[in-house]
Amino acid sequence: MYDYIVVGAGIIGSFIARELSKYNLKALVVEKENDVANVQTLANSAILHSGHNPKPNTLKSKLCLLGNKLYDEVESELSIPILRTGAYVLAHNNEEEKKLDDLVVTTKQNEVTEFEFLSFDEAVKYEPNLAKTVTKVLSLPTTSVTYPWEVAFACMENAILNGVEFRKNSEVTNITKTDDIFKITINNTDIAEAKHLINAAGVKADDIAEMIERNVEYKITPRIGEYFVLDKRVKGFINHVLYPLPTNLGKGVLLTPQVHGNILIGPNSKFVDDKDRANNTTDGLRYVKDNAVLLADNLPFNEIIRSFAGVRSTSNQEDFIIRESNEVSGFYHVAGIDSPGLTAAPAIANYLLNKIMMVHEKYDTKCNFNPKREKLQEFHTLPNDQQNELIKQDSSYANIICKCERITEKEVIDAINGPLGSSSIKGIKKRTRAGAGLCQGGYCEEKVYKLIARETKSSPLDIVYDSQKSNLFVSESKVKK
């Protein structure tokens, strides 16, 4: 019997898991995917917004502001990368400049204290490739960029270290509640029991709720955002997050420098029917390109290494839905977490535990809670003498597996065998960036699958790309008919 079961191991579920692990209680996180952070957390702009944009006096505005600040602590405790870029919101003419003034009213109401206006001439000093058509800029220095799935890994790893259980490939298929006990069915077979149930199922949150509530008060209406990724060679082409003026549809097509030097271009915003289908479309990607050129001149589209689409769990409510169920006590919704969900995530977890679930009133804090998660800095970024020291201890640090991103055999082995290890190609890519570079795995996929097979003592035929059934190979060759 668990005190808490969390459904979903995206960024939200992972932060909640870590918060729960601070208390003397028994908690389980179940995730339908073959990895942490595999849906919404995997495909977004990776921005820690300043909080300038959400409608004032909403959970979105409050938790965004708070979350942005909390990331400093997350950074030092969990060793996650944060790129402190700052952001520019761009106006191109008088009309847009007026809207920029309106945006500042919101910014002030949201208690974002750091901002300033810049003329084109001032801004272009820091952003040499800023579009010449820009007339005025709102600078938001507290905007930063992180590496979302790394944050989720860090939280979940730390939660596991502090006693939380995690089960991947575990889809919740039924929920009942009798005598104050929730019984959740996993993959139609296993049963897990808990006193409280937290619904952090992202795009599937309403489906989970429907298993136990008669009238679910919200509906998730999935929204797709499409992106291009530019190779890390473009590092320095832009230095800030570049926003157009926000519209009803959201923050618009952005240019976002990424932690590893890449630049993200996107997203568009398109409501779709199928939650499981994050599709790229010709029109969508064209829209992204057409709008991106309004932000910077001479965008190096020839450096595109990938396009992708991400799904956002927008709900039919305006705000985040973070509350106890009106129908079922002990059942908590953390739903409709779209932008600025990544930024707000640590604050959402705090808010849920301390203001909604009142966990501190029910459970003691754990005296031996270890807030630290050590992560070795990426090997290729270390100074030479440190690299050689590590190679002396383990020569597999000298064997480069991914030439494009300079990832070593040791780092791949650690990603396979670590506390939150993965034995899928995509899992290794998420953990190490092997395959995330220019050749997109052309050189290293072969090496990675062989290392996974060796480390997990399995046949190459059993190695998967992502989900448990996404095998790389269908058969051996030379099968006699």
Partner 1 sequence: MTKSFICIVCPRGCRVNVDDNMNITGNQCKRGESYVLTELTAPKRIITTTARTVFKQLPRVSVKTDVPIPKELIYDIMNIINGVVVDKPMAIGEVLISNILDTGSNVILTKSCLK
Partner 2 sequence: MKKEIIVIGGGASGLAAAISAKKEGRDVLLIEKEDRLGGILNQCIHNGFGLQVFKEEYTGPEYADRYINEFYKNNIEYLLDATVTDVIKIKDGFEITFSSRKTGIKKVNTNAVIMSTGCYERTRGSIIIPGDRPYGVITAGSAQRYLNIDGYMVGKNVFILGSGDIGLIMARRMHLEGANVLGVAELMPYSNGLTRNIVQCLNDFDIPLFLSHTVTQVNANKNQRLESIIIQQVDEKYNPIEGTEKNFKVDTLLLSIGLIPDITLLDNLNVEKDYKTKSVKINQSYQTNVSGLFICGNSLQVHDLVDNVSLESERAGVCASQYVLSQTTKANKNVRVVAGKNLLFVTPHYVDFSSESSKIVFQFRSKMKIEKSMLKISQDNKLVKNKRINFVVPAEMESITLNIENFDSSNDIVLDLEVL
C-beta closer to partner 1: residue 214 or 478: 478
**H-only helix segments in 50-191:** 59-78, 94-109, 120-126, 148-161
Rounded to whole angstroms, how far apart are CA atoms 342 and 48? Answer: 7
Do residues 65 and 112 touch, judged by C-beta distance below 8 A? yes
The answer to the question of residue 367 lying near partner 1 (CB under 8 A) is no
What is the SS3 assignment for 398?
Answer: helix
Rounded to whole angstroms, how far apart are CA atoms 386 and 29? Answer: 37
Do residues 396 and 410 touch, judged by C-beta distance below 8 A? yes
Q: Which amino acid is residue 207, in one-letter code?
A: D
The answer to the question of residue 393 lying near partner 2 (CB under 8 A) is no
Binding part of the chain for partner 2, among 20-28, 69-77, 113-121, 465-473 by CB under 8 A, reads 465-473
Q: How far is the CB of 233 from partner 2 (least distance, A)?
A: 6
Do residues 27 and 5 touch, judged by C-beta distance below 8 A? yes
The answer to the question of residue 282 lying near partner 2 (CB under 8 A) is yes
Q: How far is the CB of 475 from partner 2 (least distance, A)?
A: 5
Binding part of the chain for partner 1, among 46-54, 322-330, 409-417, 473-481 by CB under 8 A, reads 473-481
466 binds, among partner 1, partner 2, none (CB under 5 to 8 A by kind): partner 2
The answer to the question of residue 478 lying near partner 1 (CB under 8 A) is yes
Beta-bridged to residue 88, according to DSSP, are 139, 242
Return the closest-CA partner of residue 30 out of 208, 161, 232, 181. Answer: 208
The answer to the question of residue 476 lying near partner 2 (CB under 8 A) is yes
Binding part of the chain for partner 2, among 63-71, 327-335, 386-394, 411-419 by CB under 8 A, reads 386-394
Which x/- pattern over 420-459 shows residues binding partner 1 (rule: CB under 8 A)?
Answer: ----------------------------------------
384 binds, among partner 1, partner 2, none (CB under 5 to 8 A by kind): partner 2
Rounded to whole angstroms, how far apart are CA atoms 338 and 306? Answer: 23
The answer to the question of residue 472 lying near partner 2 (CB under 8 A) is yes
236 binds, among partner 2, partner 1, none (CB under 5 to 8 A by kind): none
Q: Which amino acid is residue 419, in one-letter code?
A: P
Rounded to whole angstroms, how far apart are CA atoms 197 and 100? Answer: 43
Within residues 307-326, the interface with partner 2 by CB under 8 A covers 307-309
Structure tokens at 285: 């990607």
Could you tell me which residues come within 8 angstroms of residue 388 by beta carbon, excluding any fewer than 6 positions away? none
The answer to the question of residue 290 lying near partner 2 (CB under 8 A) is no
Residues in binding contact with partner 2, number by CB under 8 A: 58
The answer to the question of residue 480 lying near partner 1 (CB under 8 A) is yes
What is the SS3 assignment for 198?
Answer: strand
Catalytic machinery residues: 49
Q: What is the DSSP string of 167-184?
A: ESS--EEEEEEETTEEEE
Return the closest-CA partner of residue 227 out of 283, 259, 279, 266. Answer: 266
The answer to the question of residue 169 lying near partner 2 (CB under 8 A) is no
Q: How far is the CB of 435 from partner 1 (least distance, A)?
A: 23
Could you tell me which residues come within 8 angstroms of residue 300 by beta carbon, excluding any fewer than 6 positions away? 230, 234, 237
Rounded to whole angstroms, how far apart are CA atoms 452 and 91? Answer: 50
The answer to the question of residue 461 lying near partner 2 (CB under 8 A) is yes
Within residues 345-384, the interface with partner 2 by CB under 8 A covers 380, 384
The answer to the question of residue 477 lying near partner 1 (CB under 8 A) is yes
The answer to the question of residue 178 lying near partner 1 (CB under 8 A) is no
Binding part of the chain for partner 1, among 36-44, 217-225, 324-332, 471-479 by CB under 8 A, reads 471-479
C-beta closer to partner 2: residue 117 or 308: 308
Return the closest-CA partner of residue 283 out of 303, 309, 257, 249. Answer: 309
Burial 110-125 (b: 16+ CB within 10 A, else e): bebeebebbebeebbe
Residues that bind partner 1 (CB under 8 A): 477-481
Residues that bind partner 2 (CB under 8 A): 229, 233, 276-282, 284-285, 302, 304-309, 380, 384, 387-388, 391-392, 395-396, 398-400, 403-404, 406, 409, 438-443, 445-446, 460-461, 465-470, 472-479, 481
